[in-house]
Amino acid sequence: MSLPQAAARYLQVKDFILERIAGGSLRAGERVPSENELTRTLTVSRMTANRALRELAADGVLVRVAGVGTFVAEQRVHAHPLEVRNIADEIRARGHEYRVKVLALDSVSASRELAERCGVKPGAQLDYSLLTHFEDAAPLQVEERYVNPQVAPGYLRNDFSRTTPHEFLIRVAPLQRAEHIVRALVPERRIRRLLRLEAGEACLLIMRRTFSHGRIASVADLYHPGSRYELAASCQPR
Amino acid sequence: MSLPQAAARYLQVKDFILERIAGGSLRAGERVPSENELTRTLTVSRMTANRALRELAADGVLVRVAGVGTFVAEQRVHAHPLEVRNIADEIRARGHEYRVKVLALDSVSASRELAERCGVKPGAQLDYSLLTHFEDAAPLQVEERYVNPQVAPGYLRNDFSRTTPHEFLIRVAPLQRAEHIVRALVPERRIRRLLRLEAGEACLLIMRRTFSHGRIASVADLYHPGSRYELAASCQPR
DNA sequence: CGGGACTACTTGTCTATACAGGTCCAGGGT
DNA sequence: ACCCTGGACCTGTATAGACAAGTAGTCCCG
């Protein structure tokens, strides 16, 4: 272990653009520097600038038009898409009492696997929380969450008895996109005990990644008791 | 407007790999040709081969290990729950063989509970089917479906080895809306055996109702093995 | 027999250069 | 007034060459 390896240059170029978008000096629809301009101002080859812009375009952060230029994509920022809901609101909407128990709250160093999921470099600091959300007396969700402090700073300073992680995140990091993977499993013992499940009971795991400013703001594993929770979705074909 | 523009070479390389995966000559976990081998056999530059493999890795098709090689990723099954898709297409898109087994096909009289779910009067006739969909040799979905013949007539006359229920329904009853409820459970014995699950294994149940002409066309319970199936959803708020 | 150096091969990155094709605008000819 | 033609600039792709770093096997030396 020594000198922190300098990040790849194409990653530096991506960060250069992303920081300008996050900082507000590049707004949706505005033009970003062309490959040739980046070549000059950042002293990289055009191929390197090309790769940075191409990957950002593949991620939906930028839009490129041959012969014209590269522009910041219109990000539809929406406080509350149907699929990403606040569990406290859900519970209260059913007329029940919402309560949360904070089991862990910490800053951790990302393992390689975690770093990959969160889109950061291995070893980067991430805010970590482990909460159980209760509906009346029964646990309804175990939420294990990692937050990128670069994208959503101040996560650990929250009082989660008053603000849910979800509320904090939509305030600090406007939600651009969310990815979900849903899985059914019989959980390990730790989760089973937190959800107070019988041995052999199934649980529903929702793995969620939320994006803000083209970067991953937060990664969460949400465990629900299979017997008391279901996911509803309604869709209309376009 | 003719002369089919030759596809970009890096796309040709991607196709070369994808075809070999689809065709079965490259299986999960197996090694794919190195960049240098592709350079020789396909007469492209290493950068072009690199781009092809890198993009396939970004898509999750391949896994690359520096110093070792590039391998076909273990594909975890993915689907988009918010879209209603055809499971046969999904399986074939992964380059696997699709097969279906018809376990029951009948006309039944709706119980009170079923009638409520289907939006018909108790005692009304409903078409019923029970199918198992296979990916190669492994069952991927048990589909238990009730169809309202008033909305989608002729369901029972289908040859389901050639037309999936989904294909029939979208042809006969234009899809207007779909409702999904997703649940995790350890299934009853009947489902467990059809999915060839171990005792105590979890499965993912998707209960789907599709609407056509403002009426419920079909109600389906779709059971998937929890160990081999997951739902993926990406949502962009609009 | 064990360990370390060496080697061959891999991915990962970076650069300079090249050409093709799209877009836009200005300027000149009709 | 209209067209259309060049040039400037953009993205998109392709190549050859280079160096770094990771991995695994071999082979030699102690």
Q: Which of A181, A174, A165 is nearest to A211 (CA)?
A: A174
User: What tokens were used for A2?
Assistant: 């020594």
**pLDDT confidence bin for A77, thresholds 50/70/90:** very low
Taking the CA of residue B72 and the C1' sugar atom of nucleotide C1, their distance in angstroms comes to 39
Tokens describing residue B33: 């040709």
Instruction: Catalogue all structural domains in chain A, each as residue range(s) with its CATH number.
Output: 9-72 (1.10.10.10), 87-225 (3.40.1410.10)
Centre a 10 Å sphere on the Cβ of residue B18 and count the other Cβ atoms it contains: 17
Which is nearest to A177 in space by CA: A145, A209, A147?
A209
If pLDDT is split at 50, 70 and 90, which confidence band does A88 have? confident
Cβ distance of A226 and B83 shorter than 8 Å: no
Q: Which residues contact A205 (CB under 8 A, 6 or more apart)?
A: A182, A183, A184, A185, A187, A221, A222, A223, A224, B184
Q: Is A5 in the B-facing interface, judged by CB distances under 8 Å?
A: no
pLDDT at A5: 58
Res. A232 pLDDT band, cuts 50 70 90: confident
Q: Mutate which of B46, B80, B182, B221 to test chain A, going by most A C-beta atoms within 10 A?
A: B182
Render pLDDT for A144-171 as a digit per residue (tens, 0 to 9): 999 999 888 899 998 888 888 888 887 7
**Is A181's CB within 8 Å of B226's CB?**
no
The residue of chain B with its CA nearest to that of A185 is: B202
Of A81, A177, A230, the CB nearest to B183: A230
| Residues lower than pLDDT 50 in chain B | 1-4, 78-82, 237-238
pLDDT band at A41 (very low <50, low <70, confident <90, very high): very high
Nearest residue in A to B176, CA atom: A236
Q: How far is the CA of A211 from the C1' of D23 (A)?
A: 35
Q: How many CB atoms lie within 10 A of CB A123?
A: 12
One-character DSSP codes across B28-89: TTPEEPPHHHHHHHHT--HHHHHHHHHHHHHTTSEEEETTTEEEE--PPB---TTS---HHH
**Rounded CA–C1' distance between A205 and D1, in angstroms:** 69
Q: What is the mean pLDDT of residues A130-141?
A: 93
Task: Give the Cα separation of A21 and A151 in Å (integer).
Answer: 12
In this model, does residue A85 exceed pLDDT 90? no
Tell me if B159 sits within 8 A of B114, measured CB to CB.
no
Which phi and psi (to 5°) does residue B115 adopt?
Answer: -60, -40
pLDDT in tens, B203-237: 999 999 888 766 789 999 999 999 888 887 665 54
| Residues of B in Cβ contact (< 8 Å) with A232 | 179-182
The answer to whether B126 touches B219, Cβ cutoff 8 Å, is no
Mean pLDDT of the region A78-103: 68
Model confidence band, residue A76 (pLDDT cutoffs 50, 70, 90): very low
Across the interface, whether the CB atoms of B82 and A235 are under 8 A apart is answered yes
* Number of residues written out for chain A: 238
Cβ within 8 Å, pair A235-B204:
no
pLDDT of residue B4: 47
Touching check for B203 and chain A: CB below 8 Å?
yes
The closest CB to that of A201, out of B181, B186, B237, belongs to B186
Whether the CB of A136 is below 8 Å from some CB of chain B: the reply is no
pLDDT (0 to 100) of residue B5: 56
